[in-house]
Amino acid sequence: MIAEIKHYRNFYKVNPDVEYRIPTPKYNYYGKEIWEEAITAIICGENLLLVGPKASGKNVFAENLSAAFGRPLWDISFHVNTDFSSLIGEDTFKNGQVVLRHGPIYECAALGGFGVLDEINMARNESIALLHAVLDFRRVIDIPGYDRIPLKDSTRFIATMNYGYAGTRELNEALVSRFMVIDMPTISSENLMKLLRQEFPNMKDNYVEQFTGLFKDLQKKSENSEISTKSVDLRGLLSSIHLIDRGLKASRALEMGIVNKSFDNFEREIIEDVIHLRIPENVERSEIFSN
């Protein structure tokens, strides 16, 4: 697979004007089976739909894939007002003439990039029907009044979606059939420890284990319907640890990054109890980090 990626990178050259769009991921995605599935699908010319719960690393993985294949990345966020012009482009004046100002789907298609269709199930079905010809065997964008734009062979689209968020809806079958779907698992304890060691190389091993256990404890509470998913926030945990590393008291940092994500007082008390079982309230930075 590594040889296939190298061949892909060497065969499909990147336009120098968009090389700045090739991402340098802050976080690595860990998960051998998921990597194998996604790489194989991309090499075979397929588009991906990443489905999974909160904190399963969908956007991190999409960025990692773009970096691994050396492709420029376009992030396209969907919402209820997403329409044709916001995706493909709209008319504008240039040098006294009406021209098409290219949208992100158009640019990604024409320049052979990877397009991340973020939270694709938040857009109205009718507004993304235009993607059908882009995502299936036709691989074209037909723009009324302009031209028929074929996709570059290297163009791929990676859609992400969560179930159950406010404003989401079911994707229609015609759209889903155009993707290979990967069910993203929640991060394992082993991979979370790898992530923490990468992000905080000076963290002591016992606290790597405690912060990993804390996240898993919150996850289990949520799965058992004792708390909502609001505080099962991996981004919040990492941000809290950064604040602790900068000298903020651990209890206050975790309150900002995790506890305060919930607005129910009873739930907040449960979350605080879970945290205190793992991270002592008066712990000093020097006890968590080696320097």
pLDDT tier, 35 (very low <50, low <70, confident <90, very high otherwise): very high
Residue 145's pLDDT is 64
pLDDT tier, 190 (very low <50, low <70, confident <90, very high otherwise): very high
And the tokens for 237? 């945990």
Quick one: 249 and 264 in the same domain?
yes
Q: Contact, 91 vs 99, CB < 8 A?
A: yes
Examine the pLDDT at 27 and tell me if it is beyond 60.
yes
Residue 169's pLDDT is 67
The whole-chain average pLDDT of the chain stands at 87
Question: Could you give phi then psi for residue 225, rounded to 5 degrees?
Answer: 65, 25
User: 189-199 and 234-245 are packed helices; what angle lies between their axes, rounded to 10 degrees?
Assistant: 40
Quick one: 194 and 256 in the same domain?
yes
2, burial (CB in 10 Å: exposed 0-12, middle 13-18, buried 19+): exposed
Q: Could you tell me which of 288, 247, 255, 256 has the C-alpha nearest to residue 274?
A: 255
And the tokens for 127? 């507004």
Of 183, 198, 229, the residue that ends a domain is: 183
Q: Using alpha carbons, list the distances in angstroms from residue 230 to 60, 171, 223, 259, 262.
A: 19, 24, 12, 9, 6
Quick one: 244 and 135 in the same domain?
no
- Collect all residues with Cβ–Cβ distance below 8 Å to 86 and sequence separation of at least 6: 103
Quick one: 195 and 149 in the same domain?
no
Determine the structural domain holding residue 158 and report its residue range: 2-183
Q: If you average pLDDT over residues 74-99, what whole number do you get?
A: 74
Quick one: 172 and 206 in the same domain?
no
Residue 60's pLDDT is 92
- Which residue has better confidence, 158 or 135? 158
Range of 98-102, 104-108, 112-116, 128-132 with top mean pLDDT: 112-116
Burial pattern 261-282, b for ≥16 Cβ within 10 A else e, equals bbeeeebbebbbebbeebbeee
Residue 99's pLDDT is 63
Neighbours of 94 (CB within 10 A): 9
Quick one: 132 and 175 in the same domain?
yes
User: What is the count of structural domains for the chain?
Assistant: 2
Quick one: 58 and 144 in the same domain?
yes
Of 183, 200, 220, the residue that ends a domain is: 183
7, burial (CB in 10 Å: exposed 0-12, middle 13-18, buried 19+): exposed
Residue 41's pLDDT is 95
Of 144, 165, 183, the residue that ends a domain is: 183
Quick one: 8 and 26 in the same domain?
yes
- Render pLDDT for 38-60 as a digit per residue (tens, 0 to 9): 999 999 999 999 998 877 889 99
Neighbours of 196 (CB within 10 A): 20
Quick one: 148 and 162 in the same domain?
yes
Q: If you average pLDDT over residues 212-238, what whole number do you get?
A: 91
- Collect all residues with Cβ–Cβ distance below 8 Å to 258 and sequence separation of at least 6: 218, 231, 233, 236, 237, 240, 271, 275
- Which residue has better confidence, 281 or 200? 200
Examine the pLDDT at 166 and tell me if it is beyond 60.
no
